[in-house]
């Protein structure tokens, strides 16, 4: 692919394939964790429903998180594309099968001249996007029953919880997670963002609990 005239919304065939595979695998992994039909818990219908719920909550959270990294990276003149990590996607399925989930489906890789500030802004864009998405899902959760029944309410709940969790998790300043780059750029921005993400997640859990 030539990047000479790359726009924030241009994708190679390889990138689209990797995004699609990661989206599907993550959705199935979450469904295996939350509706473990392989352990004799639940029904086939419940498992299929959970795949659908995961697809529109986990999948959207993952996709827009990665696209936020990509758009901001290209804004700063980077050559940026998402690449799935197939070993980690396999691990996500295997871990879900035994009752926990470790998911690092891939990342947006970018190259070009960049400052620590620009790199930090690229990194923080993902968690900030997840917090914004949680705000989008919140009214669906609160008013879902009145608008369309329990399914909408459930979608809203999962959307808020998963997005707040991803925001807080990715702000951990460790390894390839976003928090490390943000901390290297600005301790104050890191502290404010991490505290906000953790605080919102804790507040949500205290108010609505953990339910699936």
Number of structural domains, the chain?
1
Q: What is the pLDDT of residues 67-78, one digit of tens each?
A: 999 999 999 999
Residue 79, Ramachandran bin (φ over 0: left; ψ between -120 and 50: alpha; else beta):
beta
Residue 74 lies in a domain: yes
Q: Which of 66, 81, 118, 153 is catalytic?
A: 66
Kindly tell me the sign of the dihedral angle through the C-alpha atoms of 98, 30, 206, 176.
positive
The residue to which tokens 């959760």 are assigned: 141
Residue 33 lies in a domain: yes
Residue 160 lies in a domain: yes
Based on the residue annotation, tell me whether 118 is a catalytic residue of this protein: no
Residue 2 lies in a domain: no
The domain in which residue 153 lies consists of: 13-208
Give the chain's radius of gyration (CA, Å): 18
CA gap 54, 205 in Å, rounded? 19
Residue 174 lies in a domain: yes
Higher pLDDT among residues 120 and 4, named by residue: 120
pLDDT at 2 over 60: no
Residue 6 lies in a domain: no
Q: How confident is the model at residue 212 (pLDDT cuts 50, 70, 90)?
A: low
Residue 1 lies in a domain: no
Residue 3 lies in a domain: no
In this structure, what DSSP letter does residue 9 have? T
Q: What is the pLDDT of residues 133-156, one digit of tens each?
A: 999 999 999 987 776 668 889 999
User: Residues 53-66: what's their mean pLDDT?
Assistant: 94
Paired tokens of 12: 């190679």
The rounded mean pLDDT for the chain is 90
């Amino acid at each position: 692919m030539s990047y000479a005239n790359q726009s924030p919304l241009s994708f190679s065939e390889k990138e689209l394939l990797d995004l699609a595979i990661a989206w599907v695998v993550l959705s199935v992994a979450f469904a295996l964790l939350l509706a473990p039909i392989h352990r004799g818990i639940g029904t086939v219908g419940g498992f299929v429903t959970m795949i659908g719920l995961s697809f529109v909550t986990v999948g959207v959270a993952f996709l827009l998180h990665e696209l936020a990294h990509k758009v901001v990276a290209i804004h700063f003149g980077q050559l940026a594309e998402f690449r799935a990590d197939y070993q980690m996607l396999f691990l996500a399925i295997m871990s879900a099968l035994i009752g926990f989930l470790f998911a690092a489906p891939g990342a947006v890789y970018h190259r070009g001249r960049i400052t620590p500030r620009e790199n930090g802004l690229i990194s923080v864009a993902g968690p900030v996007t997840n917090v914004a998405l949680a705000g989008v899902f919140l009214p669906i959760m609160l008013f879902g029953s009145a608008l369309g029944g329990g399914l909408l309410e459930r979608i809203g709940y999962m959307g808020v919880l998963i997005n707040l969790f991803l925001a807080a998790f990715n702000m951990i300043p460790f390894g390839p997670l976003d928090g490390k780059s943000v901390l290297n750029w600005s301790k104050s921005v890191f502290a404010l963002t991490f505290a906000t993400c953790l605080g919102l997640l804790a507040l949500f859990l205290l108010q609505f609990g953990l339910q699936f």
